[in-house]
């Protein structure tokens, strides 16, 4: 019983850390950015679809051609209405570190500290920056980031996960056959 109570207390503490962070007033020098990613199968059509016409929806075959996979990174600063996305071939530690470096350098060059809300995926660690960059570069990037991890089974606290779900509903939750089309859809 003690272990369950301890785990429950840790879960609540992490959850309230994130909720307290979200409650803070907007500060462009210390932005709160939620980050998540989603793997995406690239699926092409095996047969041409029959286009829709008045009174009849588009018809497509249940068979498809698998064209590999891609990954979609999404960073959201919801208090500023800002989104940064990137489609990559994989979602390794190095891909994560490169995406974070890109948005910290390009989107937040004047920020003192970017407070990054993310889940506990094994790639979302400081170690990723040391694998992707030199020690000096990794430390430079990490000096501008403060990690906030959502508790296990509470990734719904991450605003980027919500954005990804909306993006799926609106445009990427369908068959997309190649990385270029996926990139255009994500940007749109």
When computed from its CA atoms, the radius of gyration of the chain, rounded to whole angstroms, is 19
pLDDT band at 60 (very low <50, low <70, confident <90, very high): confident
| Average pLDDT estimate for 108-120 | 94
Instruction: Locate 182 and state its tokens.
Output: 């996926």
Q: Is the pLDDT of residue 5 over 70?
A: no
| Average pLDDT estimate for 41-58 | 84
Q: Is the pLDDT of residue 72 over 90?
A: yes
pLDDT band at 9 (very low <50, low <70, confident <90, very high): low
Q: What is the CATH number of domain 2-38+70-187?
A: 3.30.420.10
What's the whole-number average pLDDT of the chain? 88
In the prediction, which pLDDT does 128 show? 96
The residue extents of the domains of the chain are 2-38+70-187
| Average pLDDT estimate for 127-143 | 96
Q: Is the pLDDT of residue 1 over 60?
A: no
| Average pLDDT estimate for 120-128 | 89
Instruction: Give per-residue pLDDT as tens, 11-27.
Output: 566 778 888 999 999 99
């Amino acid at each position: 019983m003690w272990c369950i109570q301890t785990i429950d207390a840790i879960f609540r503490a992490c959850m309230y850390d994130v909720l307290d962070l979200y409650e803070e007033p907007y500060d462009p020098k210390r932005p709160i950015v939620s980050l998540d990613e989603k793997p995406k199968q690239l699926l092409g059509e095996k047969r041409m679809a029959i286009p829709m016409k008045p009174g009849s929806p588009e018809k497509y075959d249940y068979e498809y051609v698998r064209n590999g996979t891609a990954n979609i990174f999404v960073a959201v600063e919801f208090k500023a209405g800002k989104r940064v996305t990137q489609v990559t071939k994989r979602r390794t530690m190095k891909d994560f570190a490169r995406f974070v470096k890109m948005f910290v350098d390009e989107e937040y060059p004047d920020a003192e500290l970017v407070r990054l809300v993310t889940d506990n995926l094994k790639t979302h660690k400081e170690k990723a920056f040391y694998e992707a960059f030199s020690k000096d570069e990794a430390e430079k990037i990490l000096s501008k980031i403060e990690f906030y991890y959502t508790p296990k089974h509470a990734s719904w606290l991450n605003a980027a996960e919500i954005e990804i779900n909306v993006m799926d509903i609106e445009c990427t939750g369908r068959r997309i056959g190649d990385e270029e089309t996926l990139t255009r859809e994500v940007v749109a």
